[in-house]
Amino acid sequence: MSPEVAAAIWSGGFTVLGTVLGTTVTLIITNINNNKLLKAQNEHQLKTFNEQRKQQAETLQAEHNHQKELSIIQHSLDKRTEVILEFRKLLEESMGILNYFHSEKADFERRKMLKARYKNPNAAPLIKEDIDEESISLENMNNMFDHALQQIGPIEDKLIPLETSFNLLSVYLDKEEELLISKVVKEVESLTHLIINGLRNYKEIGDPTNPYVQMFVHISDPYVPRLKKLQDEVKKVRNITKKYVYVHKLEK
């Protein structure tokens, strides 16, 4: 082989080797860059994923807290409604007994028990002022008092629960509302005690001719005016309590 040919072969070999090495280096650099890019992409994706998970967790926690707050508010509203309705129930039951005691039906029952004669029996209507006091026997008077106590007596079991219920209700009231309802509760108690104590007192006195005996038939003063005033105040209480029960409807 001539020196020229050998030199050419060696030169070509080095050229091929250089090309191979250059290509290899280029591939290595490209792979390194690709790996760096892939790593950067993975890190970015991981960071994005973590941020999304964090946001989702925060959103879920916020929703949980919101639902918890709504649950607490709803429980509070339910409790308030329960307290208001219990108070209304006791008040309406108490007023029902007082109203019945002052009704014509209840009054007629008491008059039948008293069996009093009237100076003008043909008058229409019959009035208390025409009753012949001497015609009232002790037995009939006591029967009338006993029957009257049966009519009004059930309200005594309502008074303490009514007072207790009002104390619970007062937490939800403003000062003006609390004052008004407090007066109504006290008037229910006061009128009840006035009637019941009067019945028991005059029965104990045992005098059929006592003019106060006739206060409980053809019933009027002082009971009826106080009852009518109380009824007007109870209407105000109904409006106040209705506002708290149906607050969402009233706001629309």
Query: What is the rounded CA–CA span in Å between residue 106 and residue 216?
Result: 10
Query: What is the rounded CA–CA span in Å between residue 153 and residue 195?
Result: 10
Single-letter amino acid, residue 85:
L
R_g of the chain, CA atoms, integer Å: 47
The closest of 105, 110, 90, 82 to 188, measured between CA atoms, is 90
Single-letter amino acid, residue 228:
K
Query: What is the rounded CA–CA span in Å between residue 22 and residue 48?
Result: 38
Residue 1 has pLDDT above 70, yes or no: no
Return the pLDDT at 208: 95
Largest alpha-carbon pair distance within the chain?
Answer: 171
Query: What is the rounded CA–CA span in Å between residue 219 and residue 39?
Result: 99
152 within 8 A of 192, measured Cβ to Cβ: yes
The residues near 247 (Cβ < 8 Å, ≥ 6 apart) are none
Under DSSP, is residue 218 helix (H, G, I), strand (E, B) or coil? coil
Letter string b/e over residues 71-88, b meaning 16 or more CB atoms within 10 A of that residue's CB: eeeeeeeeebbebbebbb
Average pLDDT, integer, range 81-95: 95
Return the pLDDT at 7: 62
Strand partners, 118: 131
**More confident site: 56 or 76:** 56
In this predicted model, what pLDDT tens digit does every residue of 200-227 receive, in sequence order?
999 999 999 998 999 999 999 899 999 9
In this predicted model, what pLDDT tens digit does every residue of 21-72 receive, in sequence order?
667 767 777 778 777 777 777 777 767 667 777 766 565 555 545 454 444 4
